[in-house]
Structure 1
């Protein structure tokens, strides 16, 4: 069977699923048939979601869903895929919970809707007690006995668009309502199918993958989009696009690649054919905590970067030969600011100012007029 080292090499090459059929499926199928490996039972639930991650997962190119179901996992519950319904379907959940504690994986898609005790989001019906089950109750009930809890998509991971301002549903990520568990976050809007199935593969074959600070598997979220971007040379040479649709580096038209951790440049979509920057549009930071609010507006250039001591480095000077240690320091400061939330706050503050600059000017002019008038009256 494929070693973990070889598996990680496939990840680095961006070919996890592309080579899976040849390298993993046959020996894994033999091991399952011989009883040497037990397929991981999977319960997948959708809460406050647009179903985008299910659609992403359904579009796996190779292997097919049939290969995955046959060789890797025991997909026991997923309301899109289920053939059963009613009490028979609820019985599957009951059986999994009672007979397979600490063996099944709970996959959650969608934000946790907390408003009015979660009653704006019902995900199942309890036929034993004749009542609706909220997303929060379901995830807490099933999650506490799961072997692993995996949040797929930015809504499940961090709240995502569902938790965007003003957040009337009080949406949040899975980790916030399951503090007792270590949730594996496979973020993205939507998450790439490789990230989802690659994480499940690692769980099935090798156990929990190494996670970074925000609970994401390092094998997919270990580097920034910027580090692997094919337009990095343009950035280093100061060759920037002035508008969306151009083929130069998109940093000055809002690309959030320098502060976004994901392997999109090597992973791509639609059987490795394209991705946002390949379509000449900026990265919008959809894998990061605080998305979309803290990355909006998507086409606004990053603000000046404040350094300790009150000095500032204008981001327009980055890539104009000012590289070396300065570039490393800037990148490190961006990362630190992202972790502490400073960069997102600066982005949001600068975007709000740019949107309301005309109104701010009018208010300032009005106050100056009032001050001048008061002085004249005195």
Structure 2
């Protein structure tokens, strides 16, 4: 049986490269398995462009973007990491040059997004603007879906928020797309796969019994529920308590930190101050 190839273009905007690092540190499957093997039998990812890990540079790699857009129309996966600066015609987010002019992340996401099979907004910055879009947002950073809506681009956007994204959320989503198609990716009302973002952290929190009994930590390091120390788990949808991080070793609350709500559209402004209680009314 012939192997079906899924070309991937991974663009990076305003961000810290944390989501790339998170995916590169994936354990099962490892990044080499994801890129070199058939993670899903009969299906293979072909990473054509990622500025962090590719060896190429200059005009030659910029041409890869245009070639992909025109020659593989409707057949490639666009991954966007980082928010998209739109102020000053997008010049705060230049990813290279084409024809002697700056090629902006805004222009690239719009051009490639319009012809992609699907756009995956990886990390909270790409999904909703995240930290680069924090007030007063001088560079007018936006998430992928917001940009698509403004430009009339109807390509499906799958949001995989997190600061950074969990590698399983990315590899799992891509595997579902390759094996079962786009219709199998069930999204919630803010564009996240229900498979990973379908339950509140509060529901599966190991300190939930403390909350139910009214046992609250008064300072970091105390036993008890971290609600009074600003934990946002009662509002945050992700499977962190079950999946955990660093190959299942730990996660924020297990390490004694309150949940910061980093997978939610309101992060970071709406989840601040970090160590103070935020109510549902505050988020309206």
TM-score of the superposition, structure 2-length normalised?
0.92
Which of 31, 34, 39 does residue 5 from structure 2 map onto?
39
- CA drift of 1:88 comes to 2.4
CA radius of gyration, larger in? 1
2:133, 2:141 within 8 Å by CA — same for their partners in 1? yes
Aligned twin of 2:26: 60
Q: Secondary structure at the match of 1:151?
A: strand
Contact 1:151 1:185 in 2 (8 A): yes
Residue matched to 2:77:
105
SS in 2 for 1:259: coil
State yes or no: 1:273 paired with 2:239: no
Matched, 1:194 2:133: no
Matches of 1:118 and 1:85, distance apart in 2: 21
Q: Could you say which residue in structure 1 is the equivalent of 2:102?
A: 132
Distance 1:49 1:108 in 2: 11
- Partners of 1:155 and 1:87 in 2: CA distance: 27
Specify the alignment match of 2:273 in structure 1. 297
TM-score by length of 1: 0.70
Give the structure 2 partner of residue 11 of structure 1: none
1:51–1:109 contact (8 Å) kept in structure 2: yes
For 2:81 and 2:141, how far apart are their aligned partners in 1?
Answer: 13
Contact 1:39–1:204 (8 Å) recurs in 2: no
| Structure 1 counterpart SS, 2:121 | strand
1:169 and 2:132 equivalent?
Answer: no
How many pairs align? 272
Are the equivalent residues in 1 in contact too, given 2:271–2:278 (CA < 8 A)? no
Post-superposition offset of 1:250: 0.7
Which structure has greater helix proportion? 1
Q: In structure 2, how many angstroms separate the alpha carbons of the residues matched to 1:156 and 1:286? A: 13
1:264 and 2:237 are equivalent in the alignment: no
Paired position in structure 1 for 2:283? 344
CA distance, structure 2, for counterparts of residue 101 and residue 88 of structure 1 = 20
Q: What is the CA deviation profile of residues 248-303 of structure 1, one whole-angstrom value per residue up to 9, with x for unaligned ones?
A: 11111111001001111011111100001001110010000120000001111245
Deviations 1:295-317 (A, max 9, x none): 001111245xxxxxxxxxxxxxx
Indicate the residue corresponding to 2:226 in structure 1.
250
The structure with higher relative contact order (CA 8 Å, sep 6+) is 2
Greater strand content: 2
Matched residues in 2 for 1:291 and 1:113: separation? 17
- Listed as ranges, the gaps of 5+ residues in structure 2 are 39-43
CA distance in structure 2 between the aligned counterparts of 1:205 and 1:139, rounded to whole angstroms: 25
Alignment of 1:110-125 (within 5 A): 110-125=82-97
